[in-house]
Structure 1
Amino acid sequence: MSTLVTFAPSFLATSFCWRPSSSLRFRRWSPKVFNSLGNAELAGFRPRRVIGPHRDKKATNECPCGYLGDPKRECRCAPSQIQRYRNRVSGPLLDRIDIHVEAPALSLTELRTEKTAEPSTDIRTRVETARTVQRERFRDSRTGANARMTQAQIKRHCHLDSSLGDLLQQAMEQLSLSARAYDRILKVARTIADLAAAEKIAAPHLLEAIQYRSLDRNVFY
């Protein structure tokens, strides 16, 4: 399963099952005006509009049967079926999504384990601290958060040294990423650095951000 995260209001499941017209409509909307996609949109009706910063979460299987890449179950889909399924969401739309995350199925052992992950309270503390840092960073502007940085702000707050710049250039070329993806990598890397309480973007932050951009290139083969 793949999960995609960007700025908009809601959660959308099985994104590759949208009609192509719905996908294109989402692509055309202004970055400052986000539409609430729900059953009305899937039925072809014009959705309501909401103004302001939102986060839109999408999830989808990588093929119609849901087993492509599964280590234990064989995919039953023909290559042509997979291509038609994925063509419902355009590459330019995926470019506008900030974070792509692959979520492999958990094994029974993993489901039964009593080992706990990082407590939600600890995560919340780190997030609140990072948001405080961002509010201070943009106190003289209306930006408010890294995700809404302008080009000038990206250049100012997401500076990379020469070695990191070369690393990002290499990733852009190897993954054939767009200029839009370039900006998103820098914004996400800046946020990862904020969560780590780091003043500057370092290699681990940049590499993690690049990882979150690779899904759209890897699955569309």
Structure 2
Amino acid sequence: MPDLPRWIHLVYNQVLKIGFLFGTPPNDVKSVKLDVVAYNQYTFETFTKQITLDVYSYPDPVNSQLKMKIHNLNLEDLMDDSKRERLLDIFRTVLWPESAADLHLVELHSALAAGGRRPARRTDGEGVILTLGSQAEFPEILRDLEREVSPLWTSRNCPRDFKKTSAERHFRTKGFLMDWCSFKLVLGIVTYNCHCFFNS
């Protein structure tokens, strides 16, 4: 693995042959320079390029956060705009329409990095743990959903087909297998840096 700051993670998509850098920087980080080295395994040539990550804070703090785990995804799946937007649209259009203007990913982690187990079949996905954030208040439908799943919080991991909730159909029809044991709403203002822009 390359030598990166602790908050920057690298995942590689074998199908697309693309690597993705992602992470949530500490609040005191304004800019990071990275030396990228490319290696052609057929010609043994190497190329280097320096890129700068400029970090800009969101203009307004997040008031509401939604923490969840999805069983059947890998990190690189959420780097795909269409899949990420499909997930966000479930909240923007059905469960949390008030967040449509500013709903975004706050945190993203591999379930394996959080102590999860590899799935028996590689095609099942290793699982991702993510946090969504918005300034919008949580609507009653999300509060009801949290109350519905709260008895499951004592379970460390929900099996993939353990619990069907009132909202399950919205996720299943879009191809997402939720871990309802980890679904939680978090209130309180949170400030963080999260917009990174590349300058080469």
**TM-score category, normalised to shorter length:** under 0.3
Name the structure with the higher helix share.
1
Name the structure with the higher strand share.
2
The alignment's TM-score, normalised by the length of structure 1, stands at 0.21
- Structure number with the bigger relative contact order (C-alpha 8 A, sep ≥ 6) is 2
